[in-house]
Amino acid sequence: MVYISGDNDLEPFVVQDLEQELAAVGSGPDVQVVALADRGPGYDRRRGDWENTLLFHVTRGMQATPQAAVADWGERNMGDPRTLIDFVTWTKANYPAEHYALFFWGHGWNWHPSWVMQDDTDGDTLDMHEMEAALPALGFLDFVGYDGCNMASAEVLEMWHGHASAVAASQEFVGWEGVEYDRVLAALAAKPGMGADAAAIATCRSTRATHERTWSAVAVDARWSALEDAIAAWADALLAGQPAHRAEYDAAFCAAQSFVQDQIDLDLYDLAVERERAVGDPLVRVRSRTVRQAVDAVVLDERHTAGYPGVHGISIYLIPDARAKRPTESAITGGSVSRALPAGMNHRCIRGLRQPDAARTAARPRATIPQPLPPCPNPRAGSRTQRTRAPARGRRRCALRAPARPALRA
């Protein structure tokens, strides 16, 4: 299943990915490919310039025309969880299978509101608290893939814990290539009985032939629980040691791997490395090492380019201090969110905003560009941080969040 939210500036790539990647292999005796695709006005006129939401049973060589669709669902809001539920429910009813995979194609920014699966016609996005509420209706999914920016975060992975076995996504922004669906489908066709781990790994490895900067495959089944426990114990040790080691925490924060498009996400493993290296507290060092081991145990596969030496597959959201918070971040509350982590580690697990849809929509911050982070004090020479690195040139499968060119896949 591929949920294609293209009613935005990504519309030029909807037809392209349907025809050149999904339909390059298409459905077969043992693998059925179903896509729900939404387009909008103003970016692409190919295949009759359709703007409705079309449901495709993708076959080899199919053209992405209204005539090839099995159903026209009219104008559907891809930011409404009801649309996602209807799509998954319809697919499971019409193409029952032993294993299910679901790809999210569109804009992304992990847990942040007003970015993921952006639908311009309806002025909506599929925010994290909406996804959480929809999970029981979706039923269990063996594998989930995100073909959008900055989705390989601890917060997103935690959301899928217990609802899927594995997730594949990128820690960094995603360019126009993204997931190479033809490669993934070829692997599935060759081994249709492959499990969730293998499907996640195949998705991650499909990006090796592209210019994508990071990608990872992560287990979110029972194996994920050990990482949860490790982060919780780490949080306790960090809080206890904060009065004596705050400056060392800050130094570790500045040294850890960050990302061009999301500069207040840090690589979880690399942050643990820097905490272990910089902090004199023996308990913090032990707990940092345990976090690293737990990350290693759940990351099934990971790749990154040379500019990301500290990447290990999972990001975690941080803020350096209260002044760096964005307006929406003050709305993060309770639920499964637990104790705050010191020196920038905001929450060990963010599970969405408890803000009504109407209020969230009215306050949508897409037009607001976040201010740069305050500089790190005395960053060590050769630091792996990219906090001062300029956004890369080109178009992206993510919305504008920094002074950069408009967001399109190039």
What was the pLDDT predicted at 262? Answer: 78
What was the pLDDT predicted at 103? Answer: 98
What was the pLDDT predicted at 170? Answer: 98
What was the pLDDT predicted at 4? Answer: 98
Side-chain half-sphere of 21: how many Cα atoms within 13 Å? 19
Domain assignments of the chain as residue spans, ordered by start: 2-219, 227-362
pLDDT at 162 over 70: yes
What amino acid is encoded at 327 in this protein? P
Would you state the structure tokens that stand for residue 163, as one six-digit string?
């609802």
What was the pLDDT predicted at 211? Answer: 86
Residue whose C-alpha is closest to residue 303's, from 180, 140, 169 = 169
Residues 102-145 have pLDDT tens digits of 999 999 999 999 999 999 999 999 999 999 999 999 999 999 99
> In angstroms, rounded to a whole number, what is the distance separating the alpha carbons of residues 116 and 1?
17
Residue whose C-alpha is closest to residue 151's, from 174, 134, 175 = 174
What was the pLDDT predicted at 350? Answer: 27
Which helix H or strand E contains 298, and what residues bound it?
Answer: helix 282-298
The model carries a pTM of 0.84
Residues 263-304 have pLDDT tens digits of 778 999 999 999 999 999 999 999 999 999 999 999 999 999
- Lowest-pLDDT range of 162-176, 322-336, 343-357: 343-357
399, 403, 406, 409: CA torsion to nearest 10: -60
Q: Taking a C-beta distance cutoff of 8 angstroms, is the pair 25, 182 a contact? A: yes
pLDDT at 323 over 80: no
Q: Give the mean pLDDT of 372-377.
A: 42
Would you state the structure tokens that stand for residue 176, as one six-digit string?
């126009």
- Lowest-pLDDT range of 202-211, 214-223, 310-319, 330-339: 330-339
What secondary structure does DSSP assign to 42-55, as a single string? SS---GGG--SEEE
Which helix H or strand E contains 315, and what residues bound it?
Answer: strand 315-317
Residues 70-99 have pLDDT tens digits of 999 999 999 999 999 999 999 999 999 999
> Percent of the chain having pLDDT more than 90?
72
Res. 320 pLDDT band, cuts 50 70 90:
low
Res. 360 pLDDT band, cuts 50 70 90:
very low
Q: What's the Cα-to-Cα distance from 338 to each of 59, 289, 350, rounded to whole Å?
A: 46, 21, 8
> Percent of the chain having pLDDT more than 70?
78
Residues 189-230 have pLDDT tens digits of 999 999 999 999 999 999 998 889 999 999 999 999 999 999
Residues 227-237 have pLDDT tens digits of 999 999 999 99
What was the pLDDT predicted at 319? Answer: 61
pLDDT at 370 over 80: no
Residue with tokens 């991650």, as numbered in its chain: 204
- Mean of the per-residue pLDDT values of the chain: 82
What was the pLDDT predicted at 106? Answer: 98
What was the pLDDT predicted at 248? Answer: 94
